[in-house]
Structure 1
Amino acid sequence: MIGKVGTGKSFRGVLHYLFEGRWQESKELQKQELEKKLVEVIAYNQCFGSRLELVREFIEVAKLNPNQSKPVFHFSLSFAHSDAGKLGLQDKIDIVEKLAEKFDFKDHQYVVVAHQDTQHAHLHIVANRIGFDGKTASDSNSYKHIAEFARKTELEYKLEQVLSPNKFLKPEQRIAQSQRIDNRKEALKKHLGLAIKQSTDVQQVKKYMEQRGYEVEVGRGIAFTDAQHVRFKGSQVGFALMDIEKKLKQEQLLRQQEQNRQAQLLKQQQDELKKQQEPENEQVHRYTQRIGR
């Protein structure tokens, strides 16, 4: 399970994203974006209603502490392919309640939204950091706390285990994790090498890697996430996007050279066979002439 946490200023913005998707240029595109996200609200706490009603409710309570410029807590919990079917609705609600207790907002307003718009099922939790008493839930060391929470939840619910960032681990754990990361890097490099040899462009490389369980992001650069949700930039394994494009051209040139070599070899064999057949044809011609006399 991958857990992420952030704080923000706008309840309106984050709730629009969760319920409607990213802002689109037209109503039709916005409708398509909404249909793609497959939004389902699975829990409310100290709040209820439509997106706009929730925004108003959150803002009213946030006014109890006007000095806090970032009253929004936004969490996401993503589950691996292999975790499909392991968690029921109540399990997910229980996990969120434990998260709320961990981050000290169990008595605050929060809403839990399930999305199915990516390859991995995931939950979003939007919480008001401001409680009804005007006090603010702390966001100190939130990245470390969400990593600890994810590892504990994986063990408790027998979910696929994911590596935590090195900076949150003890020294002995860092050594063991580094070895695992090195193995993952070597496996990624091996797959990429094979992908390049069998491809003519970056999109074919992307398809090859996806068929082997990697998620591939292609933009100004390239990145790969393996089945255990460990993400590497291409540059981390010696395969930046520019390197891949260069290697593809080199492989294409080598393939062309090999095709030319094979064509020349075939022509030489054909010429040799033709030379061998010429004496036989000459003998047959002479024999035919003698019989004709």
Structure 2
Amino acid sequence: MMGKITKGGSFGGCVDYVTRRKKDNPDGTPCNEWRLIDCKDVSMMEGRNGIIASFEDNLALNPDLKNPVGHISLNFHANDKDKVDDRIMVEIAQKYMKKMGIMDTPYIIVWHLDKDYPHCHIVFSRIDNHAETISDKNDFSRNKAACLDLTKEYGLHISEGKKQTNVNKLRGTEKIRYEIFNAVDAVWNDKSVHTFEQFETRLKAAGVGIEYKYKRGTSELQGLWYTRKGKRFAASKIDRRFSLGNISKHLANNKPLHSQSQWMYADGSIVPIASYKGVRLTTQQMNDYVAGKAIRVDGCQGDMPTVWIKFNPQRMTPGVYSSNPDLVGQSASQSQNYGTRLSQVPSSGTSQMQEGFANGGVLPDDFKLWMSRHPGLTIEEALHRYREEQKAKRRRQGPKLH
């Protein structure tokens, strides 16, 4: 069983949709593609109009709520046809609503009969009978958990996802969307693909293109679309696995890291970095860093608002400097390395942060003074020696007397 959540502002439009108003018979009677199997706190005396009026009574309790209409479809696998009847579907839907905190509010449950798999639609007021708003916080993750719990409780089929869909039975845009899914999924499962260039090339051979989305007015990459036969789909509309970030992580896992450094790949190339002390790097900065150049980063948190970052091939880690190490005549040994608080881009295969001194925060004045007297040390070396000296100093002073 899977649940799909939507929200809206029109009870009339939602009720008309789930009761198939557009397919009413010429004499005005409802078509046979749906049936109402359960309801609560709604008037059935006037048909659709009575249901809509009941929902709108609750809307009057909080007319400023932006999306008062709750709409959830519960979709069962075709293999569960013989397991799900009206009674079981109502029972599951009621348990689902309880798990989602949808209580003490008007609702209807409508079974749609126009598909080869059982599914129903729940329409409810997000303003309950006490004028309180039914929370939608984390509703997508809660929905997933609730569906999985009920699927196991009732012994229903646990679907393997879109892979089981028969594309030949689909038509139009939906067919194209599943063709894209199958093409991307095939490349996803090929462990030999570990760069975006390879990823794009393989998709192009399968008839699927990629368009990149950038932050308005900048070169910062934000996401991507997949294209086929003149249609364009956001990555999330194909599958959440296939977003820019998730694809990057997955490709990086296909490309092993260096055995001695998480900042290098096994082939010696440099892992890109995404941010430093609250500053997101631009695509150009990332490209320059991967090419081995020093990049300037402005607006950093802490005592050093401007730093230069450059990969150190000898140490196989990024170095963060107070001045540009690429300048002619600039001695690397004279550049003070202030430690790193760098996050790798998703393609690094990890979301861990490399923490610098004091978790990337402000450097204590006494430590900065100590560093100024010991140039040429990395943050790790300087911190180790500083701490050892402090320990020795405390040992010479003896225990504190209270």
Q: How far is the alpha carbon of 1:54 from its aligned partner? A: 0.6
Q: TM-score, normalised by structure 1?
A: 0.57
Aligned to 2:94: 97
Q: How far is the alpha carbon of 1:90 from its aligned partner? A: 1.9
Q: Is the 8 A contact 2:41 2:54 kept in 1?
A: no
Q: How far is the alpha carbon of 1:162 from its aligned partner? A: 2.9
Separation (CA, whole Å) in 1 of partners of 2:28 and 2:50: 20
Q: Is the 8 A contact 2:55 2:125 kept in 1?
A: yes
Aligned to 2:111: 114
SS of the counterpart of 1:223?
A: helix
Higher relative contact order at CA 8 Å, sep ≥6: structure 1 or structure 2?
A: 1
Moved more, 44-53 or 10-19: 44-53
Q: How far is the alpha carbon of 1:85 from its aligned partner? A: 1.3
Separation (CA, whole Å) in 1 of partners of 2:149 and 2:94: 14
Q: Is the 8 A contact 1:62 1:130 kept in 2?
A: yes
Q: Pick the structure with more helix per residue.
A: 1
SS of the counterpart of 2:110?
A: strand
For residue 82 of structure 2, the aligned residue among 79, 82, 85 is 85
Q: Are residues 1:47 and 2:42 paired?
A: yes
For residue 136 of structure 1, the aligned residue among 133, 153, 156 is 133
For residue 218 of structure 1, the aligned residue among 147, 160, 172 is 172
Q: Is the 8 A contact 1:97 1:106 kept in 2?
A: no
Deviations 1:42-65 (A, max 9, x none): 001111311111101100111101
Q: Are residues 1:146 and 2:95 paired?
A: no
Separation (CA, whole Å) in 1 of partners of 2:59 and 2:113: 30
One-letter amino acid of the counterpart of residue 63, structure 2: P
Aligned to 1:7: 7
Q: How far is the alpha carbon of 1:105 from its aligned partner? A: 2.0
Q: Is the 8 A contact 2:109 2:121 kept in 1?
A: yes
SS of the counterpart of 1:113?
A: strand
* Change over 3 Å in CA distance of 1:220–1:134 after alignment to 2: closer
Q: How far is the alpha carbon of 1:27 from its aligned partner? A: 7.9
Structure showing greater Rg = 1
SS of the counterpart of 2:71?
A: strand
Q: Aligned pair count?
A: 192
Q: TM-score, normalised by structure 2?
A: 0.42
Separation (CA, whole Å) in 1 of partners of 2:41 and 2:174: 43
Q: How far is the alpha carbon of 1:81 from its aligned partner? A: 1.2
Please, which runs of 5 or more residues in structure 2 have no aligned partner?
187-202, 210-226, 230-402
Aligned to 1:156: 153
One-letter amino acid of the counterpart of residue 170, structure 2: V
* Change over 3 Å in CA distance of 1:27–1:240 after alignment to 2: farther
Separation (CA, whole Å) in 2 of partners of 1:20 and 1:221: 23
Percent identity of equivalent pairs:
23
